[in-house]
Amino acid sequence: MSSHDFESVRAELGLPPADRSDEFPDAVLAEAARIAEGGPPAGEDATAVPFVTIDPPGSTDLDQAMFLERIGSGFRVHYAIADLASTIPPGGPVDVEARERGETIYLPDGRIPLHPPVLSEGALSLLPDQARGAALWTLDVDASGVVSNASVRRAVVRSTAQLDYEGVQAAFDAGDPHPSIEPLADLSRIRRAYRVDHGALELALPEQEVVRDGDDWTVTMRRRTDVDAWNAEVSLLTGMGAAQLMLDAGIGFLRTLPPAEEHAVSSFLRAARALGVPVPDGATPSDVLAALDPELAASIALMTEATGLLRGAGYEAFDGAAPQQPLHAGIGGPYAHVTAPLRRLADRFGTEVCLAICEQRDVAPWARDALPALAEVMRSADQRAAKADRACIDQAEVWELAGRVGEEFEAIVVSADRREGQVMLEAPPVVGRCAGADLPEGEQVRVRLTEVDQTRRLVRFEVAGGEGRTITT
């Protein structure tokens, strides 16, 4: 498998080859070098605050650093976000190129960055022991999860440690978390409960990912750890605080998802009962999902069913009147992207809007004028990134199963109708369509691989010992 690569995916989607992923036009690189030499921008000196970052091991594009405090029965969150708006000249080569790209695209064999690495992995990244410009959020959360204050200002910060998920999880499990994030578990549980009470749809589905195994590529199933979820809650808290600032001020850029249609809710609750999942009287999909054990096959099937509740995601720019539908139903309230500006274009603009609101000044014209077009830029970028991710997983799946037609596998039925279903193999963790009438959702079945098509990146299964037409993934 050593000859396998993802160049066909890159070519199909118009992405640069792996050995040129970091290439940018000369003018962009020249401006990036000048920005990198300039040092951190002016701002409040917050370098004494013991911030830490939590990211996957080896990460160098670090958007976020946090310091958490207990205040009485509640919490105070100090959340530093890399400040790009104060250093990237509006309309300059770096800005123009970023608006073309929209977001960083991650492939198994390398990333295609939004910004030149000298910035995103160097001068603007919140690397440890480095003075960096930041948009510094302060959010107060009471014991019931309600935010009583959310504000942001420009500051210079210095991260004291670069932590990773595995290490943080081990420290919490041992009862010895880093002091800068000691309240993280309690804060996150309270905020999650608050969001569930407000209708958030929590899906803890394991995620397929492609990883290198020597010279080969293999599909693995990544299960979300507690620390993954806790860390995400801090980002969601900040995004919800930012959205409320925008709505109160009448200007901003929201990530939206409409509430599920009534028929979709009814269908979901019927599916839960059919799978044997408890549905108390008056329970909402949010309540049911929050109580699931993600290790159970029935839970995986029901969470897959719940994706039908999460349709219609989009972006809403507004200046004056708030949008008619400002909510993100999956998160449990209004939400804005502001916490990942090194990797996502919208966050630079959303942060600048919030800074202007908190400083009680007009939003800078370069940011205000860009809002109407930003929605389409982000929609296109999201679609491109999702296609790349799916195509790489499909490619790795056919490599995994090449030469194994006729073999049988144990699988879980994650969804089904009268003619076919979707199954997830136990090993390798391939997800695909399977022929078979009335497959038992949430139960284990034995399936047979009937075809592997490497050109079209698809596989076909059928129920072992059964009859039925094969279904394309």
Phi (first) and psi of residue 157, to 5 degrees: -125, 165
Q: Rounded to a whole number, what is the largest CA-CA distance in the chain?
A: 70
Q: Which pairing describes strands 431-435 and 458-463: parallel, antiparallel, or unpaired?
A: parallel
Does residue 218 fall inside a structural domain?
yes
CA 371 – CA 352 distance, rounded (Å)? 11
- Mapped onto helix, strand or coil, the DSSP state of residue 349 is helix
Does residue 77 fall inside a structural domain?
yes
Look up the domain containing 439 and give its range.
Answer: 404-463
Report pLDDT for 3.
54
pLDDT digits (tens, 9 = 90+) for 201-235: 988 888 899 999 888 899 998 888 899 999 999 99
Long-range CB contacts (within 8 A, 24+) of 267-271: 267/305, 267/308, 268/302, 268/305, 268/306, 268/308, 268/309, 271/301, 271/302, 271/305, 271/441
Does residue 468 fall inside a structural domain?
no
Q: What is the CATH number of the domain that holds 432?
A: 2.40.50.140
Q: How many helices (H) and strands (E) does the chain have?
A: 13, 19
Q: Quick one: 189 and 233 in the same domain?
A: yes
CA 183 – CA 186 distance, rounded (Å)? 6
Q: Considering the entire predicted model, what is its pTM?
A: 0.93
Q: What is the DSSP letter of 344?
A: B
Domain end: 340, 374, 397, which one?
A: 397
Q: What is the DSSP letter of 310?
A: S
3-state helix, strand, coil in the chain (%, to 5): 35, 25, 35
Q: Quick one: 267 and 187 in the same domain?
A: no
Does residue 473 fall inside a structural domain?
no
- Reported as a pLDDT band with limits 50, 70 and 90, residue 73 is very high
Number of domains comprising the chain: 3
Q: Quick one: 295 and 432 in the same domain?
A: no
CA 460 – CA 451 distance, rounded (Å)? 5
Measure the CA dihedral 104/107/110/114, to 10°.
Answer: -10
pLDDT digits (tens, 9 = 90+) for 6-47: 999 999 999 999 989 889 999 999 999 999 998 788 889 999
- Mapped onto helix, strand or coil, the DSSP state of residue 180 is helix
pLDDT digits (tens, 9 = 90+) for 77-118: 999 999 999 999 999 999 999 999 999 999 999 999 999 999
Q: Which pairing describes strands 420-425 and 444-453: parallel, antiparallel, or unpaired?
A: unpaired
